[in-house]
Amino acid sequence: MRRFLLPLLTLSALSAPASAASLWAGANATTAGYGVHAGIALLRVPFIGTLGVEGSAEQQWSSSPSRYAAGLTLRDVNLPLTRVDAFGTVGGELLSTNSTVVGYAEAGLRGPLLGPAGWRAFVRGNTGGQIGAGVGLELRF
């Protein structure tokens, strides 16, 4: 059993993307508005990525309604032969326009810029029928 454990752990460490983060925070511009997001890694999943939780807050471009969201995210999904990772998030969001809570899903790509800074692009939809997309900058620690 021990003979197989060390090679498996070594392979797991080598398969992790170099940009895997324990903490992250960033700013976004979306089709609906602008906002911030932050998260923390909870569990590394060998050969797949990192499970974590993420929260975000957004302000709409033209009016005062806001969006607050929290969800479970799978990040650091390595795309072979690239320096780009994929991510996906599912959770709930509070829309302040009518104080309703709806479910949402988000998926996107993120890549490196300089040091701990990186870019991210994503699409999002919710159970209220809204669909949007955005781009942003992110710091990873």
Q: pLDDT-based confidence at 2, cuts 50/70/90?
A: low
Q: Is the CB of residue 51 less than 8 Å from the CB of residue 40? A: no
Average pLDDT for the chain: 88
Report the first-to-last Cα separation within the chain, whole angstroms: 35
Task: Write out the DSSP string of 51-89.
Answer: EEEEEEEEEESSSS-EEEEEEEEEEEEE-TTSS-EEEEE
Q: Is the CB of residue 125 less than 8 Å from the CB of residue 104? A: yes
Is the pLDDT at 20 greater than 90? The verdict is no
Q: How do residues 108-123 score in pLDDT, each as one tens digit?
A: 999 999 999 999 999 9
Is the pLDDT at 101 greater than 90? The verdict is yes
Pairing of strands 49-60, 66-78: antiparallel
For residue 121, the domain's CATH number is 2.40.160.20
Q: How do residues 24-37 score in pLDDT, each as one tens digit?
A: 999 999 998 999 99
Domain count, the chain: 1
User: What's the pLDDT at 13?
Assistant: 43
Residues spanned by the domain of 94: 2-140
User: What's the pLDDT at 11?
Assistant: 43
